Structure 1
Amino acid sequence: DETYAAHTGEKYLAAFAAVPAGGVVNNDWVISQQFTLGATGTVSFWAMSITDSYGLERFNVLVSDGSTNPNDFEPISGANYVEAPTAWTEFTYDLSAYANENIRFAIQCVSSDAFIFMLDDIAVDAPGATPVNNDVTPLVSSLGGNYPNPFNPETTISYATSQAGRVTIDIYNLRGQKVKSLLNENKEAGNHTVVWNGTDENNNNVASGMFFYKMRAGKYSSTKKMILMK
């Protein structure tokens, strides 16, 4: 049934209805691993309500100073809950207020007797961010930012894999031509980095300009841009 299809791939996170009893609503949490944010960053994800027949699903987005205790999280999505539409919709929240701090983010489902709240493709885009604890397996595969950006002579690309398997990262120029196969290896689940030193397949230095790096891992695929400035 297409109604229950993931945004990408075959899996997603779901919170099911909690029938109110004296005002009780859902209180389901997804909490990230702890990481040190760089100078700036965002968290993004896709969410949807299966149906609006019982009301739209509701959620909050919150940040803590590294604690996993729900009482230590503060909302960044506003004073009131956010409602998820009945089609996959991307939500993005700025983390810049927590620059250079150790943080966790969380998504809290607070629906009131609705049906199914769905989450997919949760990602942090934060150049320079580093995980505090690499032992935590990421919930989803994701391609992070590169740092520094712009860069010269090299930059570090961060990425995460939710399960073991083949991972490729390729560099392309503005014309869509592959400049370099940067990574083509089997990787364990976890957080990883790879360095590009601004050279092509023949280890020749490339000219300044904008480039794209594309990650593929299983059915996951994502592309981001970076600038080499000499």
Structure 2
Amino acid sequence: MRARIFVVTCVMLLGSVTALLGVYSTIFEQDFNVSAPPTGWSIQGYNGSSHTSTGTAKTNANLFKNDGGDNYLRLTEDAGYNRAWAYYNAGKFDVMGKWKLTAEVRIGKTHNGDEITNGADGLCFVFLDASTVETLGELDMSKVEGGYGEFEGAPRGGLPNTPVNGAKGYHDGLRGFSCEFDHYNNSGELFREYIHWVDLNDWQHSGLGLNLDTDTGFYYNDGWERVQLEADAGIITFSYNWGGSSYANSFQMDTLNPPNTNCDDLYSFDAYFGICGATGGQTAYHEVRLLKMETDEEVLPLEMSSFSAIATNDNYAALQWVTYAETNMSGFRIYRGTNDTFEASIDLNVFIDAANSSQTTTYRFVDSEIDEIGSYYYWLQSEDLGGATNLFGPVNVVISDPPTTTPDIPVTQGISNVYPNPFNPNTTVKFGILSPNHTTIEIYNTRGQIIRTLTNQHYLPGEYTVTWDGKDNLGKACSSGVYSMQMVSGKTVSSRKLVLMK
């Protein structure tokens, strides 16, 4: 006769979890010393022949360069029609809050450091209203495609016939703002430089910024220039001419009261950040080697509701945790010990991918490798995309009879795991079906286009797996980058992000 099972259930009610990093918390910090788009970034570029041509996609070798040292990102190249942009797609921030953007850029110089002869269109720091550029809650790159020439590669709404009918870069309903760096050199205005705050809705220059009649060394300096935008409730301070410990020059822009009344006032919205560049017939390179965004908002990669553990009927330990919301999360690790000291615990070598959902998500894990009766303690470790971790627990389970059978693991509707992730060349998708339904699982690129259908059929209730080999529907190998996967089963939609690394 089996002994009576004694169960201890411990439920921890938890609030928001965040790492406090002083006055500011870092949303991202990227040095672009890479040879392909880093995780969390969507980077694209095209060489065209006119304002209306799509152009040929630039390769990673076109976008990432070096001068014999570290790599950097190049957003524009040589004469002709070039456009390129880089967006951080793994996080947003309140544009009306307190935030600080630091950048190291090299604007308007040829690759060998010579000053250009005809000027160039420049560079844009872009702040996009997330509600106008998202699909299924994620940044849709097809909605942020920039144009050639005079708009520095930035996306915009309105003015669909500027500079010519059918010009690339227009998106109905797009809203946001840009800090524009513009300059040129001609017989009328030698080395005239502009720093402007621009309304992306119809590309209205706000009248805020700095106009310089002569070259100050900002654009045509002998190296990289560090600049900073620091904002507080719509008042933005632009600082430049970095001296190693402080900036020599700065000016303020009140974006709530632009002199040009046709320009929208800054309003509160969750923003995606991007940087764009375009060459409209001139010869110049605009290059970036550092972008760092900080905010005084509490960065909440994870809002945990509960973490609990029970013994199953088969005397295994069943763990469950519930999250309110997740942002920029990588996943979870599980540790087990025989006392409540974490340092004495062991890693179960389990990594469960995060859903990164704004909705409540329930995770379950059954530890079926317990082979002795006794008291067991479990810890849950969360990990974000930047490698930062938080620890929850311990929760305790007492096993009073040796397990005899494999536990019955409940089916979870939707995508339950993707492993490995990041991956190369294959990854396995595990998903569950609770009721008979026609089900599709499709892979999307950063432009929101379906590139691969993994399954499209009717399923009975149960758990299933499919494999993606990193190829599109034509059998062509996909490039490195971030992809979105969406499962639709009946009225239920489940999605995950995947990172293909080659």
Superposition TM-score, scaled by structure 1 size: 0.49
TM-score normalised by the chain length of structure 2: 0.24
- Comparing both chains, which one has the higher relative contact order based on Cα–Cα distances under 8 Å and sequence gaps of 6 or more? 1
- Find the structure with the greater CA-based Rg: 2
